[in-house]
Amino acid sequence: MAKRENRTFHCNRCGRYHTEYEMDNFEGNFFHDFSAYFGYGSPYDDCFFEFTLCELCMFEIAKDFKHTPMILDKDPFAPPDEQVVPFDYNEFQRRRTEPTPYYKNLFIENYNDIENLPKK
């Protein structure tokens, strides 16, 4: 039987981290990797700028954007008018704090778990 590799997720902004020992929760899904490539003319030509943000930090940053980023829903069953929607910070806060009929408290509990992760 193959030995499973443990993965560690670490937010560069706030320091929250999570080590995934088993697939017993979804916390790793709340960390997002970013990579920017520098081109000719930049002092960092041909380099990559890479970092990871937890979802809480990512949305905190996105709420200050002058031009609202879009959320693309890749779910093939998503209604056509919901496949591309502008990010709405208030909607995020609502999903994070209010139960929904289908998911009940899932999002609230997941975001609480992320909020309570240790930092280093």
Q: Confirm if 18 and 113 have CB atoms less than 8 A apart.
A: no
Specify the stretch interacting with Zn ion by CB under 5 A; choose among 11-19, 25-33, 43-51, 69-77.
Answer: 11-19
Q: What minimum distance in Å lies between the beta carbon of 26 and Zn ion?
A: 16
Of 13 and 95, which has the nearer Cβ to Zn ion?
13
Site for Zn ion in 53-112 (CB under 5 A): 54, 57
Residue 81 main-chain phi, psi, to 5 deg: -80, 0
DSSP per-residue letters across 36-74: EE--TTSTTTT-EEEEEEEHHHHHHHHTT-SSPPEEE--
Count of residues interacting with Zn ion (CB under 5 A): 6
What whole-number distance in Å separates Cα of residue 118 and Cα of residue 120? 7
Give ∠ CA 98-66-70 in degrees, rounded to 5. 55
Of 61 and 78, which has the nearer Cβ to Zn ion?
61
Among 14, 62, 85, 108, binds Zn ion (CB under 5 A): 14
Q: What minimum distance in Å lies between the beta carbon of 86 and Zn ion?
A: 22
Specify the stretch interacting with Zn ion by CB under 5 A; choose among 1-9, 16-24, 73-81, 83-91.
Answer: 16-24
